[in-house]
Amino acid sequence: MKIVSPEETLFRYQSNCNLADIATRIRSAKRVLVTTHSKPDGDAIGSVLAVLRMCRALSIEAEGWIVGPFEENLLEVVGSDAVVRVDPKAPHFPGDAFDLAVVVDTGAWSQIELLAPWIRARVDSVVNLDHHARGDAIASARVVDVTCGSCTALLVRLADELQIDLGFGANDAGRYSLAEALYVGLATDTGWFRFANARAGEFAIAARLLTAGVHKDEIYARLEQCHRLERVLLESRALSSLRTLACGTVALMSLSKEDFAATGGLPEELAGVVNLPMMAASLRASVLLVEQDGVIKVSFRSKPAVAGGDFLDVNQLAATFGGGGHVHAAGARIKGTLAHAAAEIERALAQSSL
């Protein structure tokens, strides 16, 4: 018989304290480690940089630990910040010099992979700030707000709590401010304010960040219009692979190892590719399968419901494969070949409401 502790049975991934408590923990720290999910996206990097810049504003020593590959364009937003990049193939670990760890934009053991043992050994000195619906007890103190369009939208409230000016840290050209880091997370997680999670609150935050000096056009150009041609070629491969499922309402695309070899494109250059088919009116959702060593990485996106119509809850769909995310954007991993993963997706869709 497996003995389950009361804590395990009752665990709900929700806030167990408020931002004032988190602010107190940060203020009383001497050396802070900030980390996020591996293969970080714009919100993950923006969130790490935002916490680093808040620490700097408070004269607290802090280091950001980033694991795995990410879009090189995102380096554009790293200024003089102390960021340690960890290569999962030759990992190194943080050591004992930190008295607080802040985990942002995830709360799932499976997403912090490499640093999980280090975090697990000091859960009492870990705080977690997230906007995802699913996660684990990786921290003693946790604020989870799924109504935030990005993790940085939550961090704006932390900056307010800490009474830090959003324009803090800007250089002479107005770059690398706290506001810029917060904006990068907000803009990328909302698809540059096009997705359903860009609501009045997100626009209100954006207005504050622009007022604090964010150069939005420059940020957009640096993040979205500085890609390598190889990425565009990879996109064309993904689109050529497109077929539809669920009576023509769901796009399924796949990229094999050969596609990467032939184009020179990289897995970390795939941000946004899953959204490309959404321009077709007949499609309600899109799925991208990417072949990586022995495992298929699956990205799910869905359009919000129009005029009382139906929509596909991809968070639920991803959960059937042990993954998760948000209602309209989620991810999972399926073991085996691309063909096997495609068949599994087809089977799961047949059982869903769409």
Residues 6+ apart with CB under 8 A from 9: none
Class of residue 140 by CB neighbours under 10 A (exposed 0-12, middle 13-18, buried 19+): middle
202 forms part of the interface with Mn ion (CB under 5 A): no
Binding mask 288-307 for Mn ion (x = CB under 5 A): --------------------
The least distance separating Mn ion from the CB of residue 6, rounded to whole angstroms, comes to 31
- Gyration radius of the chain's alpha carbons: 20
Both structure tokens of 322: 């042990």
Minimum gap (Å) between residue 188 Cβ and Mn ion:
8
Q: What distance, in Å, lies between the first and last C-alpha atoms of the chain?
A: 39
Pick 111 or 177: Cβ nearer Mn ion = 111
Q: What Cα–Cα distance (Å) separates residue 317 from each residue in 33, 100, 209, 280, 322?
A: 34, 35, 34, 21, 9
Please identify which residue in 35, 37, 43, 158 interacts with Mn ion, judged by CB under 5 A: 43
In this complex, which beta carbon is closest to Mn ion, that of residue 149 or of residue 265? 149
From the list 38-46, 95-103, 258-266, 306-314, the region that binds Mn ion by CB under 5 A is: 38-46
For 133-202, the DSSP string reads: S------SEEEE-TT-SSHHHHHHHHHHHTT--TTTT--TTS-S-HHHHHHHHHHHHTTTTTSTT--HHH
**Toward Mn ion, which CB reaches closer, 68 or 213?**
68
In the complex with Mn ion, the residue whose CB is nearer, 161 or 189, is 189
Q: How many C-alpha atoms does 308 have within 13 Å on its Cβ side?
A: 0
Site for Mn ion in 125-164 (CB under 5 A): 151
Length of the chain in terms of residues written: 354
Q: Which is nearer to Mn ion, 62 or 151 (CB)?
A: 151
If binding is defined by CB under 5 A, does position 189 make contact with Mn ion? yes
* x/- track of binding to Mn ion for residues 91-130 (CB under 5 A): --------------x-------------------------
If the CB atoms of residues 151 and 166 are measured against Mn ion, the closer one turns out to be 151
Q: Is 180 in the site for Mn ion (CB under 5 A)?
A: no
Residue nearest to Mn ion (CB): 43
The nearest distance, CB 244 to Mn ion, in angstroms, is 28
Question: Site size for Mn ion, by CB under 5 A?
Answer: 4
- The encoded tokens of residue 222 equal 């640096």
The contact set with Mn ion (CB under 5 A) reads 43, 105, 151, 189
